[in-house]
Amino acid sequence: MNVLLLSVIVIVYMFIIGSLAFLAFRQTKNTTDYMIAGRSIHPYIMAISYGATFISTSAIVGFGGAASVFGMGILWLTFLNIFVGIFVAFVFLGKRTRMMGLNLNAHTFPEFLGNRFQSRSLQGMSGLVIFIAMPLYASVVLMGGAHFIAEVLQIDYNAALFFFTIIIAVYVIMGGLKGVMYTDAFQGSLMFIGMTILLIMTYSKLGGVIPAHERLTAMAPVAEQIFGAKGHTGWTSFPKFGSEYWLTLVTTIVLGVGIGVLAQPQLVVRFMTVKSNRELNRAVLVGGVFILMMTGVAFVVGALTNVYFYEHPAFQKISLLAVGKNVDNVIPLYISTAMPQWFTAIFMVTLLSAAMSTLSSQFHTMGTAAGRDVYEKWIGGKGNPVFITKTGILVAILLSLFLAWGLPLFFEGGTEIIARGTAIFFGLCAAAFLPMFVGALYSKKITRTAALAGFWAGFGSSFFWLFFVHIKESQSLLICKALFGVDSLGQNTFWAYVDPLIIGLPLSVLVTLAVNRFGKPLPKDHVAMCFKEIEKS
């Protein structure tokens, strides 16, 4: 690695990030500015910020590595990311969220839910779930960035993790959501350029688009020999229906993340930062193209790394074996060995951008959840709201840093920690929040009791499934083993590989609908205020 080249690129990058954060700091005058960017963000900035928050090192490093195992079938996640995560989210949820959030004077996702259902306890509990669960997601994003930095610079992982976290912490705490979104837009633009170059150079190295895919298809017998018992049929075909790999790919990776995006607190709040529905309409195309390039390129390149490593004289192994069965190292190793030094330096900044854009939003969301939703609104604590939020952000950063340090020690290599951590949080949010969120936007009759019941049904069932049934987590957590003597209550059945989302989300919907028949309706004047101007749009 050319240290001088890398140093110059990183210094210029950090100077721009610092300048944008300072600009946001100068423009942040009140709580609304700090928490929802003054409701006046440009549609391009909003779209790229949404996409850059959505796509992180967990998508590029974690899911790119997962693609090296599961193959091109993971591209179905790209389809859901665009259709559900952009089109459905912006057109069917975003517009109503923006208008209802304004009617309710909501500054956070939990506050939106709490004000909609006139329940401080719902706001507080939602904020608490976010503050407790989101550090898992933030920690795996930190891990993705730190893994790449450590691989490229050949330094200790813990040192890379520590300094990487400090850099992000400074500008998130200083600039609020404006600082987050300004830097997101810049970082997202760099990500788009970096991923475009990566795709072109990968196909060039492998002889072109068609030859590269033909060579990967021809490796199907290798995949079947190594992974055939789990249902693998090759990197350009789908796993056998109902097999372990099919269940993991479909229920955890594709559906878990593809549907879970609709109830991501750090993404929902983006809809409340623009001043009109016109901005959301203009943001759909930008967001869709951005997501296509980010996830599509990562997944295609991840699968094609098998061709590179298998044919390379120094490896002569598939990607998973080339990295010692730790899939989170596939993309970092591929970049550092297959690409020229100048591109490695540029791609390092691309991954830094991916990680920092997502982490800044996560830290801001966790801080507002702890400071505003739990401390200020639920407990009734007093003090400066911005200072309290900044304190919450600092605590969230420390929790995430601790998990990013501890998870690699707790889970054995090869367990796809980054991809799994992302899927767990996305699925948990969908099961806990999605039914009442959609009900809040579209139903005038949904009750506070139904919202709370659905929330607890989705959250509780998801946690039970994680700890006692889904073997990828229950085996590592050891609680099921200690209590029942087995790694999973569904051991030796297909249930052990069914993601918690498949259980938690339908149950949450059913409980919400059932309990809604008996709950007390909300006051008509409150409901009318919530839907003011919405039905006319």
Q: Taking the alpha carbons of 293, 296, 299, 303 in that order, is the dihedral positive or negative?
A: negative
281, 180 Cβ separation under 8 angstroms: no
pLDDT at 432 (0 to 100): 96
Q: What is the rounded CA–CA span in Å between residue 18 and residue 11?
A: 10
- The SS3 of residue 492 is coil
- For the segment 110-133, the average pLDDT, to the nearest whole number, is 95
Q: What pTM value is reported for the model? A: 0.87
Q: What is the rounded CA–CA span in Å between residue 30 and residue 27?
A: 9
Give the model confidence (pLDDT) of 279-327 as tens digits: 788 788 888 898 999 899 999 999 999 999 999 999 999 999 999 888 8
Domains and CATH numbers, the chain: 3-445+521-530 (1.20.1730.10)
Q: How confident is the model at residue 3 (pLDDT cuts 50, 70, 90)?
A: low
Question: What distances in angstroms separate CA 2 from CA 6, 78, 217, 345, 456, one per listed residue?
Answer: 6, 34, 36, 8, 53
Give the model confidence (pLDDT) of 388-414 as tens digits: 877 888 888 888 888 888 776 655 444
Q: What is the rounded CA–CA span in Å between residue 115 and residue 312?
A: 59
Residue among 370, 300, 358, 341 nearest 126 (CA): 370
Residue 259 has which token pair?
Answer: 């549907």
Exposure pattern of 146-165 as b/e (b: 16+ CB <10 Å)? bbbbbbbeeeebeebbeebb
Residue 115 has which token pair?
Answer: 């004000």
392, 368 Cβ separation under 8 angstroms: yes
Give the model confidence (pLDDT) of 461-514 as tens digits: 999 999 999 998 898 778 899 999 999 999 989 999 999 999 999 999 999 999
Higher-pLDDT residue of 350, 399: 399
Q: Taking the alpha carbons of 146, 477, 257, 531 in that order, is the dihedral positive or negative?
A: negative
Residue 327 has which token pair?
Answer: 């899939």
